[in-house]
Structure 1
Amino acid sequence: MLASTYPRWQHDHEPSFVHELARRLTRWFEVVVICPHAKGAKPREILDGVRVERYRYGWDGLETLVNDGGIVTNLRRAPWKWLLVPGFVVMQWLVARREIRGDVVVHAHWILTPGFVARMLRAPFVVTSHGADLFALRGRVPMALKRFVLARSQATTVVSHAMQDDAASLLNGRKAIVSPMGVDLHERFVPGDGVSREPGQILFVGRLVEKKGVEVLLRAMPLVLQRIPAATLTIVGFGPLEASLKAECTELGLDDVVTFVGAETQTGLVKYYQSASVFAAPFRAASSGDQEGLGLVLVEALGCGCPVVASDIPAVRDVASDMPGMRVVVPEDPRALADGLVDLLSEETSEAWVPDRARLVERFDWDAVAARYAELLLSARSKEIQK
Structure 2
Amino acid sequence: MGRSPIRTLQLGMGWFGEQSGGLNRVYFELLRHLPRVSVKVRGLVAGSATIAEQTGGRVRAFAPVNAPLWQRWRGVRREMAILTADYHPQLVVSHFALYTYPVLGQIKVPLVVHFHGPWADESAVEGGRGAARIIKKSVEAAVYRRARRLICLSQAFAVLLVERYGVDPARVRIVPGGVDAGRFEGVPDRANAREQLGWPRDRPLVFAVRRLVRRMGLEDLIEAMVDVRRRVPDVLLLVGGRGPLLDELTARINSLGLGDHVRLLGFIPDEALPLAYRAADITVVPTVALEGFGLIAVESLAAGTPTLVTPVGGLPEVVRDLSADLVLPSTGARALAEGISATLRGGIVLPDTNACRAFARERYDWQTIATRVHSVYAEAMK
**How far is the alpha carbon of 1:231 from its aligned partner?**
0.3
TM-score by length of 2: 0.82
2:190 maps to 195
- Letter matched to residue 190 of structure 2: V
- Between the aligned partners of 1:167 and 1:259, the Cα distance in structure 2 is 37
2:170 maps to 174
1:105 maps to 91
Find the partner of 2:218 among 201, 204, 214: 214
- Between the aligned partners of 1:351 and 1:164, the Cα distance in structure 2 is 29
Q: Percent identity?
A: 25
Q: Does 1:64 align with 2:66?
A: yes
1:250 maps to 254
1:152 maps to 146
Consecutive unaligned residues of structure 2, counting only runs of 5 or more, are: 1-9, 125-132, 195-200
**How far is the alpha carbon of 1:357 from its aligned partner?**
4.0
**How far is the alpha carbon of 1:22 from its aligned partner?**
0.3
**How far is the alpha carbon of 1:190 from its aligned partner?**
4.1
- Between the aligned partners of 2:139 and 2:14, the Cα distance in structure 1 is 20
Map 1:75-90; keep pairs closer than 5 Å.
84-90=68-74
Find the partner of 1:26 among 26, 35, 39: 35
Map 1:234-383; keep pairs closer than 5 Å.
234-285=238-289, 291-324=290-323, 326-347=325-346, 349=348, 353=352, 355-380=355-380, 382-383=381-382
- Between the aligned partners of 1:275 and 1:308, the Cα distance in structure 2 is 13
- Between the aligned partners of 1:163 and 1:50, the Cα distance in structure 2 is 33
Whether the 8 Å contact between 2:213 and 2:243 is mirrored in structure 1 is yes
Find the partner of 2:156 among 149, 154, 162: 162
2:4 maps to none
**How far is the alpha carbon of 1:21 from its aligned partner?**
1.0
TM-score by length of 1: 0.81
Find the partner of 1:184 among 180, 202, 207: 180
Change (3 A) 1:118 1:264: farther
165-174 vs 99-108, greater mean Cα deviation: 165-174
- Letter matched to residue 54 of structure 1: A
159-168 vs 114-123, greater mean Cα deviation: 114-123
Whether the 8 Å contact between 1:137 and 1:143 is mirrored in structure 2 is no
Change (3 A) 1:179 1:363: same
Whether the 8 Å contact between 1:217 and 1:282 is mirrored in structure 2 is yes
132-141 vs 337-346, greater mean Cα deviation: 132-141
298-307 vs 215-224, greater mean Cα deviation: 298-307
Change (3 A) 1:369 1:173: closer
Whether the 8 Å contact between 1:307 and 1:344 is mirrored in structure 2 is no
**How far is the alpha carbon of 1:128 from its aligned partner?**
0.6
Q: Does 1:94 align with 2:73?
A: no
Find the partner of 2:232 among 228, 233, 251: 228
- Letter matched to residue 95 of structure 1: E
Per-residue CA distance 1:156-209 (angstroms, 9 max, x = gap):
111111111221243245341111221112x12348444337541000012111
95-104 vs 113-122, greater mean Cα deviation: 113-122
- Between the aligned partners of 1:350 and 1:191, the Cα distance in structure 2 is 25
Per-residue CA distance 1:304-362 (angstroms, 9 max, x = gap):
12122211113212113232385322444212211100111124646874625444333
Point out the structure with the larger helix share.
Answer: 2
- Letter matched to residue 310 of structure 1: V
- Letter matched to residue 94 of structure 1: R
Consecutive unaligned residues of structure 1, counting only runs of 5 or more, are: 58-62, 66-83, 286-290
- Between the aligned partners of 1:178 and 1:134, the Cα distance in structure 2 is 21
Q: Secondary structure at the match of 2:81?
A: helix
Count of residues in Structure 1 that have an aligned counterpart in Structure 2 = 347
- Between the aligned partners of 1:258 and 1:201, the Cα distance in structure 2 is 10
**How far is the alpha carbon of 1:16 from its aligned partner?**
2.3
**How far is the alpha carbon of 1:246 from its aligned partner?**
1.2
Cα RMSD of the aligned pairs, angstroms, is 2.6
211-220 vs 175-184, greater mean Cα deviation: 175-184
Q: Does 1:129 align with 2:139?
A: no
Whether the 8 Å contact between 2:240 and 2:267 is mirrored in structure 1 is yes
**How far is the alpha carbon of 1:271 from its aligned partner?**
0.5
Q: Secondary structure at the match of 1:260?
A: strand
- Between the aligned partners of 1:137 and 1:13, the Cα distance in structure 2 is 17
**How far is the alpha carbon of 1:32 from its aligned partner?**
1.6
- Between the aligned partners of 1:191 and 1:225, the Cα distance in structure 2 is 33
- Between the aligned partners of 1:36 and 1:144, the Cα distance in structure 2 is 21
Whether the 8 Å contact between 1:303 and 1:360 is mirrored in structure 2 is yes
- Between the aligned partners of 1:260 and 1:93, the Cα distance in structure 2 is 41
**How far is the alpha carbon of 1:105 from its aligned partner?**
1.7
Whether the 8 Å contact between 2:301 and 2:359 is mirrored in structure 1 is no
- Letter matched to residue 90 of structure 1: R
- Letter matched to residue 342 of structure 2: D
2:127 maps to none
Whether the 8 Å contact between 1:325 and 1:353 is mirrored in structure 2 is no
- Between the aligned partners of 1:309 and 1:222, the Cα distance in structure 2 is 18
**How far is the alpha carbon of 1:120 from its aligned partner?**
2.9
